[in-house]
Structures are given as structure tokens and as C-alpha cells.
Amino acid sequence: MGWTRNVMRVNLTSGTIKREPLNMDWANQYLGQRGLASKYLVEEIDPKVDPLSPENKLIFTTGPLTGTMASTGGRYSVVTKGPLTGAIACSNSGGFLGAELKGAGWDMIIFEGKSPKPVYLYVENDHAELMDASEIWGRSIWDADHILHARHQDPLIRIAAVGRAAEQGCLFSAIVNDLHRAAGRSGVGTVMASKNVKAVVLRGTRGVGNIKDPKAFMQAVNAGKKVLADNAVTGQGLPKYGTQVLMNVINEIGAMPTRNMRDVQFEGASKISGEAMHEVRAGDGRANLVTNAACFGCTIACGRISVIDKNHYTIVNRPQYWGASGGLEYEAAWALGSDTGVSDLEALTYANFLCNEDGLDPITLGSTIAAAMELYEAGLITKEHTGGLELKFGSAEAVTRLTELTCRGEGFGRDIGLGSRRLCEKYGRPELSMSVKGLEFPAYDPRGIQGMGLAYATSNRGACHLRGYTVASEVLGIPVKTDPLVTDGKAELVKAFQDATSVVDSTGLCVFTTFAWTLNDIQPQVAAACEGDWSLEKLLEVGERIWNMERMFNNAAGFTAKDDTLPKRLLSEPAQTGPAKGKANDLQKMLPEYYKVRGWTPEGEPLQATRARLGL
Amino acid sequence: MKVKFKLYATLSDFLPSEACDHQIDAEVAAGTTPNQMIDSHGVPRRLAHLVVLNGVYVPPSERDRAILRDGDTLAVWPPVAGG
């Protein structure tokens, strides 16, 4: 049946841990992971709750295919109300932690309340215990991981932890598992630290059973793996170049956010691209990229493992950074690189290592530094604020130093830890924050990719590409090519991507499979694993239900149609170069059409008929 | 006339050794099409998935019809994706 049917409820205030049965009625309506945990959250918290109060909850959740033989079936998500946005937050991560949680016999862990002192949760199958974290509080994630492995004397435990940034209240702190995979966006790590939880340590030895029809499941899984292997993107492109292959593509088509999104093309893009990571560098005669890497059960293996040149200024005489670790993905590379005007690949790799070491979302970090650079240029932030640091666009030293300070919550790093919206408000230019609902943009300028403007404006967790990746269609031609510069048909396209992604995020599978798979490839795997009827039609309905449920939570939290917008820069300052030259994003045209396609009122509220159809 | 020809990802191997930063400045005859450019460098057409002329996607049906102009930039990728 896919699910273990066990939920662990951890009351941190009282220090009690209870097992309860999974609500199978909800599982039948929301499938798992993002959908099902969001349903639990929506039912259990007041939408207006302060995200960093004990009344907020934090849910680690798996999907029915997590821990199975399905390719990429190792995903887990963390669901909560996000502190950066005040909206519903769901951050998805790979690595091995999700499969370990499932293998220990749990579908999800719900944290509620707040511990009176720092603790970590240790789980070994049925055994679960809150343990004293005083030794690891105040330490980095990498240190905590090392200490916990030594303490438990078990090399096979899997650990997710928060770093010093989260402890210091940085609002975009991530939860990092397996040293360099992260539930990265929306500040889920900040919520975890606010509850005095430093880490989750898991050991599961039960495996994942209870598959409804094992033979049909293996057939469906093997068919899916063949599709991934035969596809040029998932079988060749992603393993060799990773997500970073997009750096030159997006720059060429004129949608590369550059210097706080003032420009749409970056002259240094090729120096920080996936191709550049393969090139032998002058400093030490080695390439930045060591190898690719796979998460649990993944047959794509898009991950990057890198080493920094030991002669680079960032790590001279600092052997703790000389080893190989999680390298640059495209989102970290553009945000820390083109958005700050920095083309030093080694500096960016170092900043990315720090984001893993202490748990920072590199997208929000890079965008916030870029906003600070523009404020510095405008004279609103000075060296007095920064402790003498010059924040000029193009300064690698500024990026690496600010990353260090933000990781530790020191000096001007505390201002960067606010995220760009609060930073720009503090220094009197709120319009310079490149964000939607408080979450900073990912790597696609919506002046050059019109549909992404609508996807950002309507995303339930703020400006996010992983809620509706129309780039696949508008740029890459997956599943069909559409014109990135036109708005016609984009409302339907965005809705289709948003609903389908809601399904994928609820299965335990990785969304990157959809570069080769459609829901037609996923449906047989879900149907064979899970009891009940899991037709394609039902999956699509589940996706739409999840999207509307998240929307209704946000509306109840105080968001309105006025929040479905983009920064003024993207709506009124035309792109200066590339194919989109002279164009801004035409959101005003797409948004009313989108509300209509969604079955929402002109004010962005789901109509009664829509709610009734979806059982909401 | 001169055009910039760029090959990325696994297609970089098809560029001549003097290529720098994944591109060459190529001297081409008037009337040259994207497919002729691709063929002349030995790039199998089935691998030329994303063909972009001055930043604008050229669909397969246009690759024998579009004409390169002096100063144009033609960039080609195999099937790629990211996120």
C-alpha cells in the first residue's frame, strides 16, 4: 500500500512522543508527502499563527514511493508555515534521509510546541527519543553530523540538521541532510531552530514493504527506469552537466537575472557554467567538478561533487574546505554569481559549501546580497553598516565574506539574514527586493520567459520555479515547445504545470523525472504501490485539490490577489538586451485569465463550485 | 560574412581546436542556413535539439529555411534541462 500508516507526533513542550495511525481518508485525497502533510498542517494550525511561535508545526514527510525501488524514490519534504513569507511552506529534499525515515516505519513526523532546551530526535525503527543537544547547539551542520555519528557509533544513521544561521534567526535557513542535500527554501530550518530542535537522526532497518501489487510495481518501475535511461536529458545531459548546463542556455535567450535583475544577460555566465566546472583550472591543474552523484534510488544522478582550488583566497590554510563536497547547482550559481555580478567559480563554490555547512538557502542569500549591493550603490548602505566591507557588484570578496557573516549571524550578516524584502524595507527602498510574497526569484527572468512571471506571481510559496516550471516548455521544449515571449495560452500552461507538480511532489519521486516522464509514466507506479483507485484522472484531481488547499490556507493567512504580483522592475522596466529587449512581463494580461482557468473569483478566491468539485 | 557559432554541453567536442569559450567566429557564404552550419561541423542533426539564433529558438521546420546574416549568433545544444 505504499504508506506505512504510522505517524509520529512529537510534542516538544511536554517531551512526549506518540504513534498514531495515518489518516487514510486524507491519504486517499492527498496521496502523500507535500499534499498529505499540507492537509495535516492546514487542519492543525491557525493560518494566522506566528511561524516562529510554538503554535506553528513542522512536519517531516515522505511519499508512498519514498524508499521503494522506484527511480528517484528517496524524496522527503518539510511542511510548515514559512517565516520568510508567512505563506504555507513545503521544501523538498533528496539524499538518503527520506528513505531512512520510511525504512524506520514512519510516513511522517509532526513536531509541535517548543522544547525548553535544545534537543535532537533520535529514531531507530520503533524507538524514538528526544536527546540533549547542548553539545551540538552552536555548531555547524557539518560539525553536528560528525559529533552525532561519533556519539551513536553507527555510520549508517542519516542526519538532517540546522546550522548556526537558523539558531541566530536567519529567516532563510535550510534543513540540510546527508551533509549537502537540503530542504532549502522558505526558512523551514528557522522554524526547526525556533522549536529548539537541532537535528533529526534516523536509522531504519525494516525496508519498505506493503506494496499493493509487487509484480506490477516492479514492471512499472522497470519501464519507468528504461524511459529515464533512454532519454537524452535524464540519461546523458543531467548526469554529465547537472542542472548547471542551463547557465549558458538561459543567458543566451536573455532571461538570466543579473545584478539584482537589472540586466537579463551576464557577461561572465560561461565562466560559472556547467561546462566551466569540467574545465581544468590554471591554479591547481584540476577541474572544479570531481564527479556526479545520485540520491537514494536515483538512476539520473544529476548531483555535483566539487573541490575548490586550494590556492584560492577563500581556503588557503583552511584544510576543512579542501575535500570534495556538494558543488554548485544552477540555482546557487546564478544567485551567488550573475545576480551579484561575480564570475569567480571557486568563490561561488566556497559560498555554496558554506550554505551547506550552516544551512542557508543560496537563492535567497544571493538575491539578498544583490539587493544589498544595489542599496550600497545608492548610498543607502555604507561601510559603516557593513563593517568596512565594500559591496560592489562583481566583488567575490563581498559575496564570500557576507556568506560567512550570515552563517554565523554576525555583523552585517544579521541584516542579510532578514532576506531581501525586510532588508530593502529597512533601508527605505522596498521596491528593490526581487521577490514575490517575500520569497526571492529563482534563475529565470520573467521578462524573457513570460509564463514564469505568472508562475511566480501565483506560486503558493512565493517566487519559486519548482511550483510550476514552465521553462521546460517555454525554453527546453518539454513536453512541447512554446514561445517564451508570448502570453497566449500561458494561463493554461501554468495551471497544468502547477497541478502536475503538486502530484509529483506528493509521491516521493523527484520532479526531475518529468524531463522524461509524464504522469502517464508515474501513474502505473503509484497505482501498483498504493491501495485504492489511482487513475490518471484521479491524480490530476489530487494535484488540483492540493493547489487549491494551499491557496485557501494562504488566503486565510491574509494573502489576497494584490499579493499575486511581481516587483515593479519586472513589470515596468523593459529588458535592455536579448530577444526580450523592450519587453517587461505582461502579468496583467495573464492573471485574470489564470483566475478564470482555475475557477477562482476575480479576487483570486476559489469559487464555491470549484471547492465543491474538489471536496474542499 | 561572419557569424558566431556556439556549441555547448556534449556538442562542444564538434568545435575545432581553436575554439574559445565554446564558440568560433565562422566565415560563411551568403544564404547559409542553421542546418548547413550544423552539418558543416559534423554535428548530427538528431543531437541539435535546441537551436537558437540571436537568442530566439529556431524550430526544426525552419532550420533549412532561416538565413544567417552577418553578425548573427547561432548557438546549439543537445537535449538538456535543469532546474
Coil vs helix vs strand at A9: strand
Average pLDDT of the residues of chain B: 96
Instruction: Kindly report the nearest CA distance between residue B33 and chain A, in angstroms.
Output: 19
Is A224 within a domain?
no
pTM for the full predicted model: 0.98
Q: Which amino acid is at A554?
A: N
Q: Under 8 Å CB-to-CB from A506, ≥6 apart: which residues?
A: A30, A31, A32, A33, A34, A35, A36, A63, A542, A543, A546
Is A267 within a domain?
no
Q: Are strands B73-77 and B2-7 parallel, antiparallel or unpaired?
A: parallel
pLDDT of the residue at A606: 98
545608492: which residue's cell? Answer: A378
Peptide bond into A479 cis (omega under 30): yes
- What number is the average pLDDT over the span A198-206? 97
Taking CB atoms and an 8 Å limit, are B55 and A240 in contact across chains?
A: no
Interface test with B, best of A236, A445, A478 (most B CBs within 10 A): A236
Interface test with B, best of A72, A247, A248 (most B CBs within 10 A): A248
Average pLDDT of the residues of chain A: 97
Instruction: Kindly report the nearest CA distance between residue B31 and chain A, in angstroms.
Output: 22
Percent of chain A at pLDDT exceeding 70: 100
pLDDT of the residue at B82: 87
- Residue A554's nearest CA partner among A87, A142, A177 is A87
Please, which residues 23-42 of chain B have a Cβ atom closer than 8 Å to chain A?
A: none
- Residue A88's nearest CA partner among A439, A603, A430, A335 is A439
pLDDT at A169 over 80: yes
Q: Which of B22, B50, B73 is facing A270, going by the closest CB pair? A: B22
- What number is the average pLDDT over the span A244-270? 98
Is residue A42 within 8 A of residue A34, CB to CB? The reply is: no
For residue A478, the chain B residues in CB contact (below 8 A) are 81
Instruction: Kindly report the nearest CA distance between residue B15 and chain A, in angstroms.
Output: 14
Nearest CA in chain B to A449: B56
CA distances to A46, A452, A608, B55 from A458, in Å: 22, 10, 20, 27
Beta bridge partners of A128: A123
How far apart (Å, rounded) are the C-alpha atoms in residues A362 and A355?
Answer: 6
Is some CB atom of chain A closer than 8 A to the CB atom of B62?
A: no
Instruction: Kindly report the nearest CA distance between residue A211 and chain B, in angstroms.
Output: 31
Coil vs helix vs strand at A459: coil
| A342-355 confidence digits (pLDDT tens) | 999 999 999 999 99
Nearest CA in chain B to A466: B83
| A470-494 confidence digits (pLDDT tens) | 999 999 999 999 999 999 999 999 9
Q: Which amino acid is at A181?
A: R
Work out how many domains chain A is built from and give that number. Answer: 1
pLDDT at B64 over 70: yes
Confidence of residue A27 (pLDDT cuts 50, 70, 90): very high
* Extended strands (E) in A33-162: 58-62, 76-81, 88-93, 108-112, 119-124, 127-132, 158-161
Instruction: Kindly report the nearest CA distance between residue B80 and chain A, in angstroms.
Output: 5
| B12-24 confidence digits (pLDDT tens) | 999 999 999 999 9
Which residues constitute the domain of residue A516? 1-215+332-616
Confidence of residue A7 (pLDDT cuts 50, 70, 90): very high
pLDDT at A569 over 80: yes
pLDDT of the residue at B83: 82
Beta bridge partners of A264: none
| A443-455 confidence digits (pLDDT tens) | 999 999 999 999 9
Coil vs helix vs strand at B7: strand
Is A266 within a domain?
no
For residue A241, the chain B residues in CB contact (below 8 A) are 9, 80
Q: Under 8 Å CB-to-CB from A406, ≥6 apart: which residues?
A: A165, A170, A360, A365, A413, A414, A416, A417
For residue A185, the chain B residues in CB contact (below 8 A) are none
pLDDT at A91 over 70: yes
How far apart (Å, rounded) are the C-alpha atoms in residues A395 and A388?
Answer: 14
Number of helices and strands in chain A (H, E):
26, 17
Is A355 within a domain?
yes
Interface test with B, best of A233, A330, A345 (most B CBs within 10 A): A233
Q: What interface predicted TM-score (ipTM) does this complex get?
A: 0.98
Is some CB atom of chain A closer than 8 A to the CB atom of B54?
A: yes
CATH at residue A564: 3.60.9.10
How many degrees, rounded to 5, is the angle at CA A388 between CA A387 and CA A390? 120
Q: Is B2-70 in CATH node 3.40.1130?
A: no
How far apart (Å, rounded) are the C-alpha atoms in residues A243 and A237?
Answer: 9
Confidence of residue A210 (pLDDT cuts 50, 70, 90): confident
Is some CB atom of chain A closer than 8 A to the CB atom of B44?
A: no
- A33's enclosing H/E stretch is helix A33-44
Confidence of residue A1 (pLDDT cuts 50, 70, 90): low
Encode A349-378: b = buried (16+ Cβ within 10 Å), e = exposed. Answer: bbbbbbbbbbbbbbbbbbbbbbbbbbbbee
Taking CB atoms and an 8 Å limit, are B82 and A478 in contact across chains?
A: no
Is A242 within a domain?
no
- What number is the average pLDDT over the span A180-188? 97
Q: Which amino acid is at B57?
A: Y
Cell (9 digits) for A302 = 544529476
| A519-563 confidence digits (pLDDT tens) | 999 999 999 999 999 999 999 999 999 999 999 999 999 999 999
How far apart (Å, rounded) are the C-alpha atoms in residues A189 and A422?
Answer: 18
For residue A445, the chain B residues in CB contact (below 8 A) are none
Percent of chain A at pLDDT exceeding 90: 99
For residue A578, the chain B residues in CB contact (below 8 A) are 55
Chains A, B: CB pairs < 8 Å:
92
Domain boundaries, chain B: 2-70
Is A147 within a domain?
yes
Give the other-Cβ count within 10 Å of A139's Cβ.
19
For residue A264, the chain B residues in CB contact (below 8 A) are none
For residue A466, the chain B residues in CB contact (below 8 A) are 83
Coil vs helix vs strand at A183: strand
Give the other-Cβ count within 10 Å of B82's Cβ.
28
- H-helix segments, A435-487: 450-458, 471-474
